[in-house]
Structure 1
């Protein structure tokens, strides 16, 4: 089994109680562990995979809490860093349909330093770039780019999820698109929401968007469509894989559960190239990943709601 290295933010989600339509109506919050790359690492570990988190949290009680959550989920935290900068916070409100309203208070996640000692650990393994904050500057962005180069030179399977957050990129979407492209060009697998696929490609049609991403260099394209499932395109084969029907209460972490489940399955393949060359196998893995995403929406809080393999099998 290959190890999956997840790089980026680990943060506190303060989730609003007595949900309203937006954060302006919220007055009470509950502390939850969050951050897309951390969620993916936990999703992989809860399904019996091998995952490692690379990111930075504050040397404060929140940072200690977050690392303990990952450790309790059997995620390797030996490569995580601590900083005197306060741990990053996100405030989240959820509407009646389970959709989220985000506001970030950025802190220690941007302080991640590049470590050349990690390079050899990537060799023939899987490296997932899925941080919402990684392209916003700070030493994290520099480290992100250097880790991408290391993953390429170590012949790693590279996965990229841009995790676009409108609150972080107000009036700067052109910069977001420009900074995302090198990762799309070098990634074996890219996971987009429909909004992200249209935004980055500049195409309204999903087939045109996939053609754009394939021409850029990405070999496997997945575009999550919420309750409608996932559109997947790879080496001339494409299909919409349906999801299972559930009543969502919180969509936080659904995309992370999806990509985590998919990467865990890929990590167990004897020949990792078959993820690209065997469309029937890929479609089957996407169907399983759709289940993981759907199950996650049935409870509040991303990490706590991530399914185990027994839940998926049932």
Structure 2
């Protein structure tokens, strides 16, 4: 149970996908071959989002699959300690919990460098079972958050589309964070047709600048919003460069706060959590107000920025009070 008691509340947001250990290089600016020691940090985009939401005060659940191993137990225990609902977590008998090697540049940017000696599909998160998804979680939730990594593996792909069916049945809004990671795919050419199948389900779309250009030939959120013609919001982030957004017809840009970056791992996930927390607080209809739309994205930038000031995707995430304090201190920058 966490300090704000979120574990006892029904999850408003379900985050479905991978949970894993990021093995961050201890030597900065070195290639994978040159690194001689690594530090394990809990991660995985959907798990990061779930934890960041709970820390901000929005109850969240995580659905994913871990191995029946020490690493899997540790990750589930972490989620429970933070206050995330883990009733949808599955355990694979045959595959281990995923670990991914991450090298870091001198600027704090990170690059995924592989899975060691295992193939991408030989980890537990590739084996999430569609028939074991708990409909009860969907009964009370308001949002479902998914990524595209899970589309790389047949069983987990089926679970994603089952979750989308449940979201439709129980009237959840679907949020897609593209979070493209080519190294997770056996055959990258399969990705685009599968991602294109998601558009009919998606209500809010978050992309990095390069993902937007890859999928839509533009990084302009408004252009993507009108091209899809079925979403309620699009966010396009670009590291420390300005965020392009289009929310309920309100288009604009927000420049992220200037901060001292230590590690960008999970900053985009925290940004997304900040956005979702705000729409849970204010209601989706509030995005019709131009000033509110800008406020919500500014808040998301604060959550993402604060996360980049420390190492580790989850341990670095700010609490609600820290975000509020940061925004007060930086009000002149707004």
TM-score by length of 1: 0.91
Among candidates 219, 231, 245, match of residue 232 of structure 1: 245
Residue 86 of structure 2 aligns to a residue whose secondary structure is coil
1:189 aligns to 2:204 (yes or no):
yes
Counterpart CA distance in 1 for 2:133 and 2:313 is 31
- Paired residue for 1:125? 141
5 Å-filtered alignment, 1:157-236, equals 157-169=173-185, 172=188, 174-203=189-218, 207-212=222-227, 214-215=228-229, 217-236=230-249
Among candidates 255, 276, 284, match of residue 273 of structure 1: 284
- Paired residue for 2:274? 261
1:309 aligns to 2:325 (yes or no):
no
1:298 aligns to 2:298 (yes or no):
no
Query: Residue 10 and residue 146 in structure 1: after superposition, are their counterparts in 2 closer, same or farther (change >3 A)?
Result: same
Query: Residue 137 and residue 287 in structure 1: after superposition, are their counterparts in 2 closer, same or farther (change >3 A)?
Result: same
Counterpart CA distance in 2 for 1:176 and 1:117 is 23
Counterpart CA distance in 1 for 2:172 and 2:222 is 27
Counterpart CA distance in 2 for 1:79 and 1:8 is 11
Counterpart CA distance in 2 for 1:96 and 1:31 is 19
- Paired residue for 1:44? 53
Q: Deviations over 1:110-169 (max 9, x none)?
A: 111124662343246333333352010231110001101110121111111011013235
Counterpart CA distance in 2 for 1:16 and 1:273 is 40
On the 8 A contact 1:23/1:101 being kept in 2, the answer is no
Deviation, structure 1 residue 285: 1.2
Q: Deviations over 1:25-78 (max 9, x none)?
A: 211011111100000000001111100000000000000111111111111112
Deviation, structure 1 residue 204: 6.1
- Paired residue for 1:59? 68
Deviation, structure 1 residue 206: 5.6
On the 8 A contact 1:119/1:151 being kept in 2, the answer is no
Counterpart CA distance in 2 for 1:276 and 1:184 is 21
Counterpart CA distance in 2 for 1:285 and 1:195 is 23
1:154 aligns to 2:163 (yes or no):
no
On the 8 A contact 2:144/2:172 being kept in 1, the answer is no
Query: Residue 300 and residue 132 in structure 1: after superposition, are their counterparts in 2 closer, same or farther (change >3 A)?
Result: farther
Residue 151 of structure 2 aligns to a residue whose secondary structure is coil
Counterpart CA distance in 1 for 2:242 and 2:234 is 14
Structural RMSD (CA): 2.1
Residue 310 of structure 2 aligns to a residue whose secondary structure is coil
Residue ranges of structure 1 left out of the alignment (5+ in a row): none
Counterpart CA distance in 2 for 1:276 and 1:157 is 15
User: RCO (CA 8 Å, sep 6+): is it higher in 1 or 2?
Assistant: 1
Query: Residue 87 and residue 207 in structure 1: after superposition, are their counterparts in 2 closer, same or farther (change >3 A)?
Result: same
Query: Residue 58 and residue 117 in structure 1: after superposition, are their counterparts in 2 closer, same or farther (change >3 A)?
Result: closer
* Worse overlay, 223-232 or 114-123: 114-123
- Paired residue for 1:285? 296
Among candidates 146, 151, 158, match of residue 142 of structure 1: 158
On the 8 A contact 1:45/1:74 being kept in 2, the answer is yes
On the 8 A contact 1:130/1:163 being kept in 2, the answer is no
Counterpart CA distance in 1 for 2:235 and 2:67 is 34
Q: Deviations over 1:202-239 (max 9, x none)?
A: 33666544433x33x22200001221231111333200
TM-score by length of 2: 0.86
Among candidates 98, 117, 123, match of residue 88 of structure 1: 98
Query: Residue 72 and residue 15 in structure 1: after superposition, are their counterparts in 2 closer, same or farther (change >3 A)?
Result: same
